[in-house]
Structure 1
Amino acid sequence: MLMSHHHKVRLSQSAIFIAAALSAATASAAGYQIAFDSVSGLGRAYAGEAAIGDSASAMGRNPALMALFKQAEVSGALIYFDADISVTGDSQALSSDDTVPNQFVPSTYYVQPIDEKLAFGLGFYSNYGLGTDLKDDFAAGDIGGDTALLSVNLNPSVSYRINPMFSVGAGVSVIYATGEVNRRYGAANPTSPSGKILSWEADDWAFGWNVGALFELDNNNRFGLAYRAGVDLELGGDFTDHTPGLVAIPNGGVADSNSNVPLPATAEFSGFHQLTPLFAVHYSAFWTQWSDYTEFKASGSGCSINGGTCFVKPEKYDDSWRWALGATYQLNPAIKLRAGIALDEKAGATTLSIPDQDALWFSTGVNYQHSSEWSFDLGLAYMDRSNETYTETSLFVGEQTYRAEGHLVILGAQANYRF
């Protein structure tokens, strides 16, 4: 038999709680947020990003920073992270190494001053995404599996200098997102533990907006404030019940489904202070409205076993903060050194599907001014993720205690060209 009658009954009665959250741990910030929007920022742990404006990538964080540019500039960045994050249970069957796949994160930005007051910019990057992959034969396969979310953001923006001290900016975003979830039998089917229970694939287009302000106290001191509005994705696609009608669809099969996944609102306050001709300090406080995320749920009329619910998993998320402090030193006319430290507060309760952890960043970087047109940035960061011990209940293995721990190494390169 595929499963015992006991497991069949439990699966049928509790199927709507099977799917784990789409917001499984990312390799960057809390929840499913991506923190890698530039390499120049990576080298200082993204401290001061809403106030510095030293490359075209600044427009993605605060559009008002485009007012600082006197010439057109384009920046292209590629960041690679090597993740070593594991989940450890009471046995090998309940443990999984390398749960976050290594990834490349690209981005491109362009800033074009129109005149002394007006500037235009265009960014192509991502603010949210994730990838987690527990081993296929993980015993608690009903609450652990593989999950992916990819979002890309095309963000045209404008800035306007009101006076020598105050500038504002605003942008709109065209966002495309796609998600995928797979959950497996695990201990419920020892002969084929990697067999799928359910799958889900969906995508959506959405629109958003962001605004920012820049206050220049003088040539050496400025402050930035940026806000990005939340976006409600309505991901539509196929939900597949791989069981013989035990999860959501009578007789199994495929049904259309829709799932609301919020991209939370964010706000950032930053400061930049050029203390000497060679040395500057900068800092940021970054807030994310994670409390908007209360559940991951897919619905469709074809999921009639559960009254139109394909799956649902309640979430326990709270608003979170990221604190960053950095410094910049001009070693010589061609080389600028950067360093930074940051604390990412976790957003949600730690679970198998959301092994969210506090993260401490240690970053360093360098900018090389090759010519009046070309400059290059390198950044390196080590992210130490806190150890989290938690309990979670699976339909197949009952309540178990798990431990999530690990770290990331992040490396990036960026080229900047000034026209």
Structure 2
Amino acid sequence: MSQRVLKTSLAFAIAAASSQTLASGFAINEQSVSGMGTAFAGRSSSAEDASTIFGNPAGMSRLDREQVSGGVALLHAKTDIEDASGSAAGSNDGDMVPFIGAPMGYYVKPLDDNWTFGFGMYVPFGLVTDYEREFQGRAYGDRSEVRIITLQPTLSYRFNDQLSIGFGPTINRIDGELSSTVPDPFLPGNSAGVKIKGNDTALGFNAGVLFELSPQTRFGITYHSKVDYTLEGDTEIEGGGLFASAAGKYDASLDLETPESVDFSVTHDLNERWTVYAGSTWTRWSRLEAITVESEGISGPLSPVFSTISEEQEWHDTWAHAVGAAYKLNPQWVLKAGLAVDQSPTNNAHRSPRIPTGDRKIASLGAAWSPNADVTVDFAYSYLKEDDTDIELNEPLKGSYRSTYKNSAHGLGAQVTYRF
């Protein structure tokens, strides 16, 4: 049995991209519900509340009062699998992404006329895919789950009425799990269950600059650094027949880099009622060339196969663009809307049931209610529609699997900001 036969089944889940997130790859956009209403146009220049800690830490300098913001975004995906065929029998139910939520929380305190302190908690990356037990493409993917939670202490400094800068180190915790079902090529009906788990904590940083050209117009640029992880965990193999000699639990490790990104945006107040936003984000997904899992202590004839497993990814850099607008209906209500386009980092050669994603379009609506000067409640809704994507796989002994994925998703968020 060759290493190529098992590489997809044993590669770590972080390599996967899933349609349940409203950003490219396995990134999540939902770190701010107030920004979600405009499809995150103006993310690095709006600086409306404490969630600017993620959007642009320099934006804290615009907040003249101590405040906290907290909320959650709920994500519901819909996937139809059509025109499926393959060498294995099985079902193609689709809808493999469960209902999930992404929490967020921020605190900002001005220290003096120049310095502002902030602290944030948010989810920058994550995914869950869980196919049915008899999924026809189960040899190429079964269940994947990745969770990254970030804590960010932050400082900003205001040089003058126009220029501010901000910086914050990020403390990032990653947990991941992958399971797959690998068929036995010599004993029909027999298979191996393979599960890989791992976790790590690593450091990165966010930095930003905010330039206010005039009281009506401001520009922002934010850099989110790459983060280097070394996940430590275990590989668990269960099965008889061919796999009996490798059955057991073994120490495993994986080196991984999540990509850096640069966001540039502009916010312009047309008049007392209308504000418009525009922005673009570049993400260096090309860092994800391959995923390699190293397992220790495996002996027997399958040792060369299970000890070092590598899967090519060859992802490419992506751009996302967004435009949005806000209308102040009265002193209590602001209405928002936005449109965005977002590239997928995957390519046709390596797309699998773990990465069934294509380029996407996103439409968002939002509203902000301020019953008084101390409280603002934000609501937002987003609809995502992906281009149809084809999967065509045929590996030795694992068999063939072909299908077309039709992906869409709904996002719903709520956030409360309280000013002291």
Same fold, TM-score > 0.5, yes or no: yes
1:14 aligns with 2:5: yes
Output the amino acid matched with 1:54.
E
**Deviations 1:40-97 (Å, cap 9, x if unpaired)?**
1111101101000111111112100000010011000111111112333227725231
- Residue 270 of structure 2 is matched in structure 1 by 275
Mapping of residues 328-367 of structure 1, within 5 Å: 328-349=326-347, 350-367=351-368
Task: Count matched residues.
Answer: 407
How many Å apart are 1:17 and its aligned residue? 4.3
Q: Which amino acid aligns with 2:357?
A: D
Shift of 1:142: 2.2
Structure-1 residue corresponding to 2:197: 201
CA contact (8 A) 2:183 2:398 kept: no
Q: CA 1:346–1:16 in structure 2 vs 1: closer, same or farther (change >3 Å)?
A: closer
Deviations 1:21-44 (A, max 9, x none): 523233221111011111111111
Which residue of structure 2 lines up, in the alignment, with residue 252 of structure 1? 247
Q: Which moved more, 1:394-403 or 1:105-114?
A: 394-403
The alpha-carbon distance between structure 1 residues 81 and 190, as it changes in their structure 2 partners (threshold 3 A), is farther
For 1:13 and 1:317, how far apart are their aligned partners in 2?
A: 19
For 1:72-91, list aligned pairs within 5 A. 72-88=66-82, 89-90=84-85
Q: Which runs of 5+ in 1 are unaligned?
A: 1-8
> Which residue in 2 is equivalent to 1:25?
17
How far apart, CA to CA, are the structure 2 residues paired with 1:395 and 1:30?
Answer: 31
CA distance in 1, matches of 2:389, 2:268: 37
| Counterpart code for 2:277 | H
For the 8 Å contact 2:36–2:381, the answer to whether it is kept is yes
1:34 aligns with 2:33: no
Q: Are residues 283 and 303 of structure 1, via their aligned partners in 2, closer, same or farther at CA, if it must alter by over 3 Å?
A: farther
| 2:229 paired with 1:237 | no
User: How far apart are 1:210 and its partner, in Å?
Assistant: 1.2
2:136 to 122, 134, 139: 139
After superposition, give the CA deviation of every residue in 1:201-255 in whole Å (9 maximum; x if it has no partner). 11001111111000000110000000011011111101112234856x9442111
Is 1:172 the equivalent of 2:169?
yes
SS at match of 1:257: strand
Equivalent residue letter for 2:6: A
Instruction: Give the C-alpha shift of residue 308 in structure 1.
Output: 6.9
Q: CA deviation at 1:397?
A: 5.3
- Equivalent-residue separation in structure 1 for 2:7 and 2:36 (angstroms): 40
The TM-score, its normalising length taken from structure 2, stands at 0.92
RMSD: 2.1
What is the match of residue 46 of structure 1?
40
* Shift of residue 263, structure 1, vs aligned partner: 1.2
Q: Is the deviation greater in 179-188 or in 164-173? A: 179-188
- Alignment CA distance shift 1:274-1:370 (3 Å): same
CA distance in 1, matches of 2:388, 2:173: 33
Q: Is the 8 A contact 2:148 2:172 kept in 1?
A: yes
SS at match of 2:10: coil
CA distance in 2, matches of 1:54, 1:15: 49
2:113 counterpart of 1:116: yes
Cα 1:187–1:308 shift into 2, 3 Å: closer
Contact 1:20/1:144 (8 A) holds in 2: no
* Partner Cα separation in structure 1 for residue 212 and residue 260 of structure 2: 25
